[in-house]
């Protein structure tokens, strides 16, 4: 009733099966459990939990200030309310290979479907900013091997993100991606590619599923699902789209409330009480409560 009806192992198995169907899967970013419910009820394929969204929700920039516990706890809160698979941004793995292995163990225990780790030096930067610094390829390969070895469910999807396109160029980003696959990555996330042709080159060079990041105001052109599927991409994430939409609406509402001194003119733009209760499955809770309230032990006589 208050958590997903589907076991984490089932979500992972279903996700792997969906990936094998060569259909583009769409994962909007959910920054709260309530948002994840809306994503699910609007028939998307899965949930993405953005590290930037977690940082921003806490009033922090996305520069590696959140820790393993904060990210894993929030990801669990979000993933547990839906039957959809949930992928989380695990930044740099929160440390060296042994720390990264522990991160994988924690996320697996908490029911996540998969995560991605990146090859930036900590403290990291948003993937669409300049002046990123990478760790050595061999060091990242050790992290990926440690993460892969830490998995107890083979269907937990380990995604290796490379930020090398900017600092080292496309050719070196592809070489890193190949090395990451050889080290145990199940999927590659090439961050901040700058054109369709770059995705084409990645697709022709890397033989595991590829993730596309369609974040707004970044270095990557905003391609639609038809274009991405034609390029052979397997998964697309929209990390901050819903948070940006929500923040724009909140700020507009605050300005009007301040100006008018009343929310009366804003009610038509609000999520209604009845719609909120519908999303939360309020009636299910009522039925559960009635069932418990009316429960009686059987007469032993």
Token pair of 71 as six digits: 């990210």
Which residues, in sequence order, are CB contacts of 163 under 8 Å at separation 6+?
A: 118, 119, 120, 127, 132, 134, 191, 192
Whether the ω angle into residue 24 lies within 30 degrees of 0, i.e. cis, is no
Q: Directed axis angle between helix 97-109 and helix 68-79, to 10°?
A: 20
* Contact (CB, 8 A) for 164 and 134: yes
* Contact (CB, 8 A) for 94 and 67: yes
Q: Directed axis angle between helix 241-260 and helix 33-41, to 10°?
A: 110
Strand partners, 86: 47
The radius of gyration of the chain's CA atoms, rounded to the nearest angstrom, is 21
Tell me the CA end-to-end span of the chain in Å, nearest whole number: 34
Beta strands in 182-291 (DSSP E): 187-190, 211-213, 235-238
* Contact (CB, 8 A) for 129 and 86: no
Distance CA 175, CA 269 (A): 49
Please give the positions annotated as active site.
Answer: 48, 62, 89, 91, 116, 118, 126, 161, 191, 213
Strands 47-49 and 25-28: unpaired
């Amino acid at each position: 009733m208050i958590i997903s009806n589907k076991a984490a192992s089932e979500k992972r198995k279903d996700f792997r099966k969906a990936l094998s169907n060569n259909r583009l899967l769409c994962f909007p970013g959910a920054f709260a459990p309530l948002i994840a419910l809306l994503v699910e009820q609007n028939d998307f394929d899965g949930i993405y939990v953005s590290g930037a969204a977690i940082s921003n929700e806490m009033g922090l920039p996305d520069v590696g200030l959140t820790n393993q516990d904060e990210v894993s706890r929030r990801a669990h809160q979000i993933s547990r309310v839906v039957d959809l698979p949930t992928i989380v941004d695990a930044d740099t793995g929160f440390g060296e290979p042994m720390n990264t292995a522990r991160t994988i163990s924690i996320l697996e225990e908490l029911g996540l479907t998969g995560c991605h780790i990146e090859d930036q030096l900590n403290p990291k930067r948003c993937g669409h900013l300049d002046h990123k610094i990478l760790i050595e390829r061999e060091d990242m390969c050790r992290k990926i091997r440690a993460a892969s070895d830490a998995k107890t469910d083979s269907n937990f999807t380990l995604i290796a993100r490379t930020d090398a396109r900017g600092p080292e160029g496309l050719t070196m980003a592809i070489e890193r991606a190949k090395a990451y696959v050889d080290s145990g990555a199940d999927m590659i996330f090439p961050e901040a590619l700058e054109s369709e042709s770059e995705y084409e080159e990645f697709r022709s060079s890397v033989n595991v599923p590829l993730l596309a990041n369609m974040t707004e105001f970044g270095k990557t052109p905003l391609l639609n699902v038809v274009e991405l599927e034609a390029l052979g991409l397997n998964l697309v994430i929209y990390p901050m789209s819903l948070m940006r939409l929500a923040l724009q609406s909140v700020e507009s509402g605050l300005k009007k409330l301040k100006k008018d001194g009343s929310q009366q003119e804003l009610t038509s733009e609000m999520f209604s009480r009845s719609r909120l209760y519908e999303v939360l499955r309020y009636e299910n809770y009522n039925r559960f409560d009635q069932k418990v309230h009316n429960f009686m032990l059987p007469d032993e006589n």
